[in-house]
Chains A and B, each alone.
Chain A
Amino acid sequence: MTDLIAARSQMAISLGFHIIFAAIGIAMPLMMTIAEWRWLRTGDNIYLTLAKRWAKGTAILFAVGAMSGTVLSFELGLLWPSFMNWAGPLIGPLFALEGFAFFTEAIFLGLYLYGWTHLRPRVHLATGMIVALSGVASAIAVVIANAWMNSPTGFELVDGRPTQIDPIAAMHNPHAADETIHMVLAAFAATGFVVAGIHAYLLLRDRANVFHRRALEIALVVGGVTAMLQPLSGDVLARTVAHHQPAKLAAFEALFRTQEGAPFLIGGLPDADRQEVRYGIEIPYVLSLLLYHDPHATVAGLDAIPRENWPPVAIVHVAFQLMVASGFIMAGLAVWAGWRWWRGQGLQHETALLRALVLATPLGFLAIESGWVVTEVGRQPWIIYGVMRTSDAVTPMPGLWVPMITFTLLYGVLGLVVVWLLKRHIAASAVGASTK
């Protein structure tokens, strides 16, 4: 294994691990706050129990997210020192902003978790809302930094060095708004569907359980609304990618040849050497229509890009397919659930819907992970698109497979422990709140 591959793997594993906890840390505070708000409004103690149970799980997940996030802030330098030396003055201020958002989140989460008896109910609810808001704020700051790597702005290149540094212009990069909206929606949708899936499973075994019914409703509102918005956000983002990163878009669709009236590809295994796709279904004109609202528009293919600047096409295409498919299934389930909620006798009677929700439990996080593969692998071979190659950014430190294996094992063990702990939490919630 080369040091470059080891460094990329360690970064991928660290981000892939952290993003799960970060997404949950964005969405769970909103859900526990909604539960607490319902308790204050209705006086129904089941909502209070729910808020407390969710808060306890959130406490564990947030801590792991905070610690793995710390690792990432150092890893930027440990693995990519030249990148940080170059980009620090441009995107560093975003991380400083994120630092303050994280400060606010940690302070008010401490108040929320330990303040049930210290604070008046309305004040306590307000601390939860601040946690939810600052979680979103820190996600926005970090994703704007990633968006800058996709469409770098705010500098002039002179002899390969940045001059005329303007960090505000770096924040206003073309990907910033579209990518952050996509990620924040994904965090709410993925977390909502995991929680909905868990409570749907428990509800199937105990239909009279009001605790699980309330939990399912809140999770579906948060996850469902965002899942329905996500395809729209994805559509807007794809047009931005087409405009600023044609190589990445061509890899999404495994479009080897520049063509008018480009088809939309469903499924398929691209072979970059032979420049062909096997087992795919092509829907004529749809890609041109989606990107340019014109069925005959020309879409740039990979042939417009020098071969050494191609991303790994097969990985990007398959990940893109997984992300889009998961997203559409979730949006469909959200519509179905909304319909049955409106017209039915209560979701606890909708056996088919509940079973489908159980099956869909991991889909949101599958979409998030594959979405990160899409954006990160799709940007290769660049770390800063069109400006700095990933291979030029890696640390001179040899033997990088050692830290890579070490952090992989560390995160593997931590992941297993967290799953085991959460299983105990869920088991306790099923027993503890089996009320009518």
Chain B
Amino acid sequence: MSLELILAGIILISLTFYVLLGGADYGAGVWSLFATGPRALAQREAVAKAIGPIWEANHVWLILVVTVLFTAFPKAFALLSTRLHIPLSLMLIGIVLRGSAFAFRTHDVVPRSEREAGAQKVWERVFAVSSVFTPIMLGTTIGAAASGRLGGQADTFVDMFVRPWANPFCLAVGLLALTLFAFLASVYLLLETRDDGLREDFRKRALWGGAVAALMAGAVFLLSKNGAPYVQYNLAYTTWGRLTVALVGLSALAGFVSLWQRRYRSAFVSTIGEVTFILWGWALAQYPYLVIPGATIMDAAPTPTLELVLATLLIGALVLFPSLYYLYRVFKGSIILRALE
């Protein structure tokens, strides 16, 4: 296996971690926005408690994706950041607002009685709204990388900087990212809560979230016929492509049935499976392109750089994974155990 392929694989794995962990933190923010019913306050507190200790660590997966991308595949990075300047800038604004507002809310010095009043309410709102907005922009940029419109020169500003992402397919991918993140979060949250009423709230949200996410996945697949023909072809007409689509469908179904029957461990496993299969299906379907049609994984940095990055990543992983395990064991120990029982 070539160095380029290994590094592209590491980027995909990092992106998967970002979606499964960091994505769920955004999804939790979505449920903070849609907290309703008699337990609305408890729902918001469950969200804050769940993501508090871990969201900053989860966020770093995105930084890792970006840094490895610009080191190993500078052409793809330059292309993405030039042509998708607008949605990436919007995503960054969302990232800044989400993170800052959450920190302001959590670490402000106010008595508990004022938790839902005044400035606290503003931070909560900003946190929740940007948790909805940011994943849409992230998904939109991923859709644009797959769409086949990024390469060469275009004549007008709109063709160059707007049309590649402002189209039904890319926006549908944005909504798919949002609904998948929300779905993931609801499944994690129902595992984390001990209160029966609250767990039912999140179970209902998981059922709805899962259904909407499955619909969005179907819509993206249909729209990809015109929106991302290269990816569509590989998914629909190759054996492994059809296999991936089948795996996504099966895990979605398994997740739905498990949630219905309140078998939360298998719901957890199938949800993670569904999201992972979607991501990997997309990545395989656009092989060997990183950005269609402008950059492939062969447009990589020279070998000494790739070797150094790989060594850095391997040594870094030796520090990272034990630390991450420790973080999760301390704060999520009971949940991990319950999921593994």
Contacts and interface: CB of A to CB of B under 8 A. Distances in A.
B320 interface: yes
* Of listed B75, B95, B106, B323, residue having the most chain A CB within 10 A: B323
B204 interface: no
B64 interface: yes
Interface residues of B, number: 60
Main secondary structure of the interface of B (DSSP, over half): helix
A168 interface: yes
Contact of A93 (B95, B309, B319): B309
A328 interface: no
B305 A99 contact: no
Contacts of A168: 304, 308
A96 B82 contact: no
B107 A59 contact: yes
* Of listed B80, B102, B103, residue having the most chain A CB within 10 A: B103
* Of listed A57, A107, A168, A406, residue having the most chain B CB within 10 A: A107
A398 B157 contact: yes
A66 B327 contact: no
B249 to A, nearest CB: 34
B312 A97 contact: yes
Query: Size class of A's contact patch?
Result: 35 or more
B99 interface: yes
A64 interface: yes
B334 to A, nearest CB: 12
A381 interface: no
Contact of B60 (A90, A102, A424): A102
Given A96-B64, A96-B71, A165 B304 contact: yes
Nearest to A400: B85
A417 B119 CA distance: 10
Nearest to B54: A110
Interface string A394-436: 0111100001001100100010010001001100100000000
Given A111-B330, A406-B89, A96 B309 contact: yes
A407 B54 CA distance: 27
Contacts of A62: 56, 103
B60 A85 contact: no
A78 B82 CA distance: 6
B250 interface: no
A113 B304 contact: no
B326 to A, nearest CB: 7
A59 B115 CA distance: 18
B93 interface: yes
A95 B82 contact: no
A67 interface: yes
Contacts of B323: 103-104, 107-108
Given A70-B59, A90-B305, A106-B57, 7 more contacts: A56-B109, A92-B70, A93-B309, A99-B64, A100-B312, A107-B57, A395-B81
22 contacts: A73-B66, A74-B92, A76-B70, A81-B78, A84-B78, A86-B74, A88-B70, A89-B74, A96-B68, A98-B67, A100-B316, A106-B57, A109-B56, A110-B327, A111-B327, A113-B53, A114-B52, A115-B53, A167-B305, A403-B85, A406-B89, A410-B97
Interface of A: 56-57, 59-60, 62-64, 66-71, 73-78, 81-82, 84-86, 88-90, 92-93, 95-100, 102-104, 106-111, 113-115, 118-119, 165-168, 395-398, 403, 406-407, 410, 414, 417, 421, 424-425, 428
